[in-house]
């Protein structure tokens, strides 16, 4: 009996223990609501620590703020005028990206970035004067960004602008020009490979040869002449006060150049040139050149004839020092063309004309005229000239008194082409295309006979353009 009682009691105790454990387990399942709060707090702390770590790592990835200084652009230029900003504060830039365009007294130059980073400060406004060696912008560089050293992308401002307008990095373009210079064709080819797009060439104005107009006497006397109203011109705006502003850029350069030119004793010589045969030749070749994408004017013939004549009179392709103690005979014929632009008088030059054909000269003139119209002529285009021609006739006028551009020793001014009556070899009066030419020479080293012989040879080449073929190389 006692054994049975002890066994029953042990079984009852085991049963009660199991029920107690089950109830305790169920009670624990009802308590997690309180335990969730510390868990949530722990997650918030972890999130805060993660955020702090993220911000810390972000701050570490930023580099120092570097003062991007205006570097020396050559030719002894100490200050420039900021013409246009391509970035603003907060913009992100990469290496070789265009930052701004500046204009010196010689040329317009596009300044490119040497860093990867963010623009934090612009030191100058548009039209302000920036000094060489002084800060231009502040760039917050990225971590690991290194300054470009020992590498310079060679491209003209117009090529850089074309690349910027089409979101092309110059570092990705392979230049086919001299010393790896990137040409406009390289940008167009790169763009065509990427998108298949083709950009049209920029048109330029060409001098048209006047044709012989109908005689005024052929009009019947009874028919009254049509009255042409005068062209409307904008009325001047009267501000009521005088405005004084400093001379900048090309205007300041003109003051220096013309002041030095007035110290040169000029010798003048004028002549007439019959271009009738050249007019016929150019009309035949014009369509051929246009088929190759080049506008052919009379200027390439004038320039090539000058180069052929300079081979016989090298003293006209020379330069003298300031004291006129030494004379240097130039091997290259870098013939300049005085060009009227919105920025003033510019004289870009065609390099090594003695090695170029008439067609190649026309190609280079097309390029220079396009850059001049856009105000994007570079320093290399405006320096190094040895002889100059001024096509004043494209605007009007016949004779002129051109001013020599030192250190050169001669210059020619070309008047407009007129259809005038002339006697033929048979004694008949015939219409002829006549152009006046005016020469100026440095009379300290060039006498009148030399200038006259040079002009006669130049005129012979133009009046008989077939004779140029004998001397072409």
> Which residue carries 């406004």 as its tokens?
125
Cβ-count burial of 360 within 10 angstroms (0-12 exposed, 13-18 middle, 19+ buried)? middle
Longest dimension (CA), the chain: 169
In sequence order, the β-bridge partners of residue 140 are: 65, 118
DSSP 332-343: S--EEEEEEETT
Q: What are φ and ψ of residue 269, in 5° steps?
A: -150, 135
Residue positions annotated with a catalytic role:
443, 447
> Which residue carries 């009660």 as its tokens?
16
> Which 8-state DSSP code applies to residue 203?
P
- Residue 164's CB is within 10 A of a number of other CB atoms, namely 16
Pairing of strands 135-142, 62-69: antiparallel
The Cα 122–Cα 139 span in angstroms is 9
> Cα 323 vs. chain centroid, distance in angstroms?
35
In sequence order, the β-bridge partners of residue 92 are: 118
The Cα 454–Cα 458 span in angstroms is 6
> Which 8-state DSSP code applies to residue 460?
H
Peptide bond before residue 464 is cis, with ω within 30 degrees of 0: no
The Cα 306–Cα 38 span in angstroms is 94
Whether the Cβ atoms of residue 275 and residue 433 lie closer than 8 Å to each other:
yes
The Cα 112–Cα 164 span in angstroms is 11
H or E stretch covering 439: strand 429-442
DSSP 389-421: EE-GGGTS-S-------TTB-EEEEEEEEEEEE
The Cα 136–Cα 71 span in angstroms is 9
């Amino acid at each position: 009996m006692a054994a049975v009682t002890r066994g029953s009691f042990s079984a009852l105790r085991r049963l009660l223990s199991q029920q107690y454990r089950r109830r305790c387990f169920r009670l624990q399942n009802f308590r997690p609501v309180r335990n969730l709060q510390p868990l949530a707090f722990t997650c918030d702390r972890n999130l805060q620590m993660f955020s702090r770590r993220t911000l810390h790592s972000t701050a570490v990835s930023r580099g120092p703020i570097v003062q991007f200084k205006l570097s020396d652009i050559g030719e002894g230029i100490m200050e420039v005028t900021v013409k246009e900003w391509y970035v603003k504060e907060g913009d992100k830039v990469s290496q070789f990206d265009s930052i701004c365009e500046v204009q010196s007294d010689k040329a317009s130059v596009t300044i490119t970035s040497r860093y990867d980073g963010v623009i934090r400060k612009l030191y100058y406004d548009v039209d302000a004067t920036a000094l060489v060696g002084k800060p231009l912008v502040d760039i917050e560089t990225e971590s690991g960004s290194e300054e470009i050293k020992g590498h310079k992308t060679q491209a003209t401002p117009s090529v850089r602008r074309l690349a910027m307008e089409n979101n092309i990095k110059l570092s990705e373009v392979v230049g086919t020009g001299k010393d790896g210079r990137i040409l406009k064709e390289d940008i167009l080819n790169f763009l065509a490979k990427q998108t298949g797009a083709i950009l049209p060439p920029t048109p330029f104005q060409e001098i048209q040869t006047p044709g012989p107009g109908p005689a005024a006497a052929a009009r019947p006397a009874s028919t009254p002449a049509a009255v042409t109203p005068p062209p409307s011109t904008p009325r001047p705006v009267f501000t009521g006060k005088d405005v004084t502003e400093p001379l900048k850029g090309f205007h300041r350069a003109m003051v220096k150049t013309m002041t030095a030119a007035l110290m040169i004793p000029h010798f003048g010589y004028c002549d007439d040139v019959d271009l009738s045969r050249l007019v016929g030749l150019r009309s035949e070749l014009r369509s051929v050149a246009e088929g190759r994408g080049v506008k052919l004017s009379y200027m390439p013939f004038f320039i090539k004839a000058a180069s052929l004549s300079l081979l016989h009179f090298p003293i006209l392709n020379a330069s003298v020092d300031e004291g006129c103690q030494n004379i240097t005979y130039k091997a290259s014929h870098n013939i300049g063309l005085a060009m009227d632009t919105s920025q003033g008088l510019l004289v870009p030059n065609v390099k090594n004309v003695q090695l170029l054909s008439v067609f190649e000269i026309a190609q280079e003139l097309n390029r220079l005229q396009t850059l001049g119209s856009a105000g994007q002529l570079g320093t290399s285009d405006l320096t190094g000239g040895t002889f100059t021609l001024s096509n004043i006739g494209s605007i009007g006028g016949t004779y002129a008194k051109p001013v020599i551009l030192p250190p050169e020793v001669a210059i020619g001014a070309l008047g407009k082409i007129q259809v005038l009556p002339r006697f033929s070899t048979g004694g008949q009066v015939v219409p002829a295309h006549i152009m006046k030419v005016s020469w100026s020479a440095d009379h300290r080293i060039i006498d009148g006979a030399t200038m006259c012989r040079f002009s006669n040879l130049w005129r012979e080449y133009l009046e008989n353009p077939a004779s140029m073929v004998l001397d072409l190389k």
